[in-house]
Amino acid sequence: MTETVTETETVVPQVSQVERHGYLFGHPIAHSMSPLLHQTVYDGLGLNWSQFPLDSLDVDLFLRLREDPKFYGAAVTMPHKVTILQHLDGLTPEGASVGAVNTMFIREDPETGKRLFMGTNTDVVGIRESFYQNVANADATFHGRPALIIGGGGAARSAVYALRTWMKASKIYLVNRDRNEVKAVIDECTARGYGDSLVDVATVEQAEQLEGVGAIVACVPNFTPKTNEEKEARSVLECFLAKEHKGAILEMCYHPSPWTEIAEISKQQGWQVILGTEAMIYQGLEQDKFWTGKELHELPVENVHKAIAAKLNESRL
């Protein structure tokens, strides 16, 4: 594969060997399994397509590259998920509500035939499908119950949207070492119309008085708590894990290993642990639904799971 280097030293992949191409656009992206996931899908469908990594901060370069007639769309990751909004012709309800886009896809204006660059957020679908594809009885496990989110970043906001919009959470507890981050999540989600019944749970004493939860989404890196605030947040989580009702927890952290401290503690307490690779897989499959026009049951889901599991095993060796 020949490569050219722009004036900003961005390596631009040579895409001429495939019929259609997309990009993974962000920085840094060296550890991403997105190209592998999508190549597995295209190979399974018999498509001569590829997604190429575009490790770059240069938005103008990306905007030029997307004009290629063979470009089908892009996975957009940090730090471009918000910046890209101003360069789109339209948004899905998920893209508009979350206020961040991780997927660009193309539609055609029926009147002019002009290509329209559209945006959506499939992270929310990845969270939703991680639960519904892995939990045998959603009604008994998490429907109609409070849910819990650990963390305060973009993934936490996506989790609020998924739990509130689709997963029938009666309320959502937010657990975090930083009260200001929690307030920011509550304020932003409320402003976007899905911030009802968000509760900042700051202490173990508060947690002890609250109803047990059915679904937990952990959106923090894997680390051993060291500060008092970190220890208190972990203790609040452990308080909920110890309650009588045992549900399912999605541990979003999967690099370098999906088996984290929180996953281990949850398993010991009798919870069903869903690894973060599930969210990554189902958000990626949702992207391919937009790009290929196929439905989930038409995509090689089992092949994707096998490919990602093999890659994880390889990285542990």
Residue 31 DSSP label: T
115-120 and 90-91 beta bridge pairing: parallel
* pLDDT at residue number 161: 95
- The DSSP bridge partners found for residue 73 are 22, 105
Q: For residue 317, what pLDDT is reported? A: 58
Instruction: Show the domains of the chain with their CATH numbers.
Output: 3-121 (3.40.50.10860), 125-275 (3.40.50.720)
Q: Which helix (H) or strand (E) holds 97?
A: helix 93-98
Query: Residue 103 belongs to what H/E stretch?
Result: strand 103-108
pLDDT per residue over 210-258, tens digit each?
Answer: 999 999 999 999 999 999 999 999 999 999 999 999 999 999 998 778 8
Among left, alpha and beta (phi > 0; psi -120 to 50; other), residue 112 is alpha
Proportion of the chain above pLDDT 90, given as a percent: 88
pLDDT value at residue 186: 94
Query: What's the CA gap between 112 and 72, in Å, rounded?
Result: 19
Q: Which listed residue (70, 81, 171, 306) is catalytic?
A: 81
Split at pLDDT 50, 70, 90, the class of 316 is low
pLDDT at 5: 42
pLDDT category of residue 313 using cuts at 50, 70 and 90: confident
Question: Mean of the pLDDT values across residues 182-195?
Answer: 92
The confidence score (pLDDT) of residue 4 equals: 46
Tens digits of per-residue pLDDT, 1-33?
444 444 457 889 999 999 999 999 999 999 899
Note the pLDDT of residue 1.
Answer: 47
pLDDT digits (tens, 9 = 90+) for 97-116: 999 999 999 999 999 999 99
Give me the pLDDT at residue 7, please. Answer: 42
**Per-residue model confidence as pLDDT tens digits over 128-185:** 999 999 999 999 999 999 999 999 888 999 999 999 999 999 999 999 999 999 999 9
Q: What is the pLDDT of residue 10?
A: 82
Mean per-residue pLDDT, 82-109: 95
Does residue 44 come out as left (phi exceeding 0), alpha (psi in the -120 to 50 range) or beta? Answer: alpha
Task: State the helix-helix crossing angle for 123-132 and 154-165, rounded to 10 degrees.
Answer: 60
Average pLDDT score over residue span 263-284: 97
Active site residue 81: yes
Element (H, E) at 251: strand 248-251
